Structure 1
Amino acid sequence: MGETARDVPPNTAERIRQVALDLFSRNGYEKTSLREIAEELGITKAAVYYHYRSKVDILDDLLRPVAEAEEQILDEAAQFALDTMEGRMRLVERYLDLVLEHRQLTRYVVSDIVGASNSGMVPRLQRNDRQLNSLLSRAGLSLADQVRTLSALGAVMAVLSLAEVPADQLRPLVRQAAWGALGLDRPPAEEPVPESPARL
């Protein structure tokens, strides 16, 4: 007998996404099939189809929360006093927290951009990244300040090369490096980090 909606545990969609991300990261998007995702989970392909009709639907669902969180950060950017180094660093820190939260997914997208580009979310993520870079190198900044600020943003990407280091150890070190890139002596006291929007 085939599986019905009642047979499928309520967290199956979340498990499908995580297993798919693990397989995408190891084998690439193109070489991963729905059958392999089902086998890894120990469920039928029909159970995967109950939640997702295609691999791209899974990929979209993985990337959507990142796009939404980026857009929330960008919407709040006006609160950061971006005409000051400290304000721009607050924006960098919000981005750091987002990358740390989605470190495996971000590493995957960077390593398999061709496969990841099957998702309609990728143009949205790219647009958000361009907007973030534009805010951090805004008109009126000296060239030196633009370079410092974008170097601070670049320090954030170090977390992708240090995947085995726990986030609570890595974050203060990356934060310190970013402040150093800005030519500032020491980071100020931590700002409270707003919670990410709840996933529906």
Structure 2
Amino acid sequence: MARGNTRQRIQDVALDLFADQGYEKTSLREIAERLEVTKAALYYHFKTKEDIVISLFQDLSRPIDDLIAWAEEQPRTLETKREILRRYHEALMGAAPLFRFMQENQATVRELSIGDHFKARVITLTRLIQEPDLDMVDRMRCISALFTMHASMFFMQNVEGDPEEKREAVLEVAIGLVTEAHEGR
């Protein structure tokens, strides 16, 4: 099996175990057993549980960093801001298991300082979807657009309905907030 595939399998299994049992209660031995590999084989890729979690956040950050780089090169139009939200929503959907981990293991996220890295990206995205001269209510609308997406990662799983319809609804609400903030100017 290729190294990249093994690394991904380790991350997936570890994330499942961390979410189900908690980070603290999961051992490298359990991860290796679930993968049906030796601890030595696991060590080849990751020396500690912390290394696994950090790698997961780095993988999540890559598409967000790419989005930020793209957004900073675009004209500051309403359509660009809508596209930022669409692309960010896609990145979040791809990271749904990581959000489950974050919800279930908040103390670990704080201890590893990975939350600070994520927070910095969210602040940058907030800056990119609003204009500096917006009044406080409209700035709050822009901030709320991102947090609508974040909250949906946790709460929409408890809402009855078609998953695709729920994803579209979240994106529509977020885009509506940014549109209202910019069209009311």
TM-score range, shorter chain: 0.7 to 0.9
Higher helix residue share: 2
Shift of 1:55: 0.8
Aligned equivalent of 1:178: 174
Q: Which residue of the other structure, out of 93, 106, 114, is the alignment partner of 2:99?
A: 106
Q: What is the identity, as a one-letter code, of the residue corresponding to 2:168?
A: P
- Percent identity of the aligned residues? 30
Contact between 1:103 and 1:163, CA under 8 Å: does it hold in 2? no
Structure 1: runs of 5 or more not aligned: 1-8, 185-200
Is the counterpart of residue 52 in structure 1 residue 33 in structure 2? no
Contact between 2:23 and 2:105, CA under 8 Å: does it hold in 1? yes
Contact between 2:71 and 2:80, CA under 8 Å: does it hold in 1? no
**Structure 1's 29 and 138: CA in aligned 2 closer, same or farther, altered over 3 A?**
farther
Contact between 1:73 and 1:94, CA under 8 Å: does it hold in 2? yes
Contact between 1:28 and 1:115, CA under 8 Å: does it hold in 2? no
Q: Which residue of the other structure, out of 119, 122, 126, is the alignment partner of 1:126?
A: 119
Over residues 34-87 of structure 1, what are the superposed CA-to-partner deviations in whole Å (9 max), with x where a residue is unaligned? 0111122222222211221111111121111111211111111134443x4443
**Structure 1's 59 and 130: CA in aligned 2 closer, same or farther, altered over 3 A?**
same
Shift of 1:148: 1.9
Q: 1:1-200, aligned counterparts within 5 Å?
A: 9-10=1-2, 11-82=5-76, 84-119=77-112, 121-157=114-150, 158-163=152-157, 168-182=164-178
Residues in 2 aligned to 1:166 and 1:121: alpha-carbon distance in whole angstroms = 32
The secondary structure found in structure 1 opposite 2:91 is helix
**Structure 1's 118 and 52: CA in aligned 2 closer, same or farther, altered over 3 A?**
farther
RMSD over aligned Cα, in angstroms? Answer: 2.4
Shift of 1:137: 4.0
Structure 2: runs of 5 or more not aligned: 181-185
Higher relative contact order (CA 8 A, sep 6+): 2
Contact between 2:78 and 2:179, CA under 8 Å: does it hold in 1? no
Contact between 2:72 and 2:128, CA under 8 Å: does it hold in 1? no
Residues in 2 aligned to 1:86 and 1:110: alpha-carbon distance in whole angstroms = 32
Q: What is the identity, as a one-letter code, of the residue corresponding to 2:65?
A: E
Residues in 2 aligned to 1:32 and 1:117: alpha-carbon distance in whole angstroms = 18
Shift of 1:103: 0.9
**Structure 1's 182 and 120: CA in aligned 2 closer, same or farther, altered over 3 A?**
closer
